[in-house]
Amino acid sequence: MATIYDFTVKTREGKDLPLSDLKGKVLLIVNTATGCGFTPQYEGLEKLYETYHDQGFEILDFPCNQFGSQAPGTIEEIHNFCQLKYDTQFDQLEKIEVNGDQADPLYVFLKTEQPDDPKPTGMKNRVAMTAISKMPGVSKEKGFIKWNFTKFLVDRDGNIVHRFGPTDQPELIEAEVKKLI
């Protein structure tokens, strides 16, 4: 049976990063985009990173252009945008696909382990996710990533303990991160 530590991802420089190198850390894995209505979540993600990084917390940021072409540009352009606009200290990894035939194997695994987005809370979030679900190319298939900023929280033992939807703000995730730190 596969675990998260069986996967290797690519850094933005194109080097292999075996996830086994991150054993013992709490991970937040997120597919991101720089031109999305949810892009301001980078601010909250950076705050989480700054608060908990020294306690063994890492963010794995995978830019993805599959949703409305909202992550255009090269990985270097995306990285520069994140640093300039949100002063991110966590790094972006290689740009990937999260759904379909070209989906990164890590995301195939994540979607198998945590196939459902939680129901959005609050009227604004429910309306946003309803609108997203009606957009072209958004799959109703179980497990599929619905949009940018879907997040997976992984404990220190490599267990995927929670899937957060695109509307789930980093401030909500903080309580779950605290439990694992």
pLDDT tens digits for 73-105? 899 999 999 999 999 999 899 999 999 999 999
Strand 16-18 to 8-10 pairing: antiparallel
Q: Tell me: pLDDT of 11 over 90.
A: yes
Q: Which residue is it, tokens 């709490």?
A: 26
Q: In the chain, where are the structural domains located?
A: 4-180
Question: What CATH number is given for 4-180 in this structure?
Answer: 3.40.30.10
**Which one of the listed residues 4, 22, 36, 154 is annotated catalytic?**
36
Quick one: average pLDDT of 136-164? 87
State the pTM of this model.
Answer: 0.92
Q: Which of the four pLDDT bands, split at 50, 70 and 90, describes residue 33? A: very high
Active site residue 82: no
What does the pLDDT read at residue 81? 93
**Within a 10 A sphere around the Cβ of 8, how many other Cβ atoms?**
13
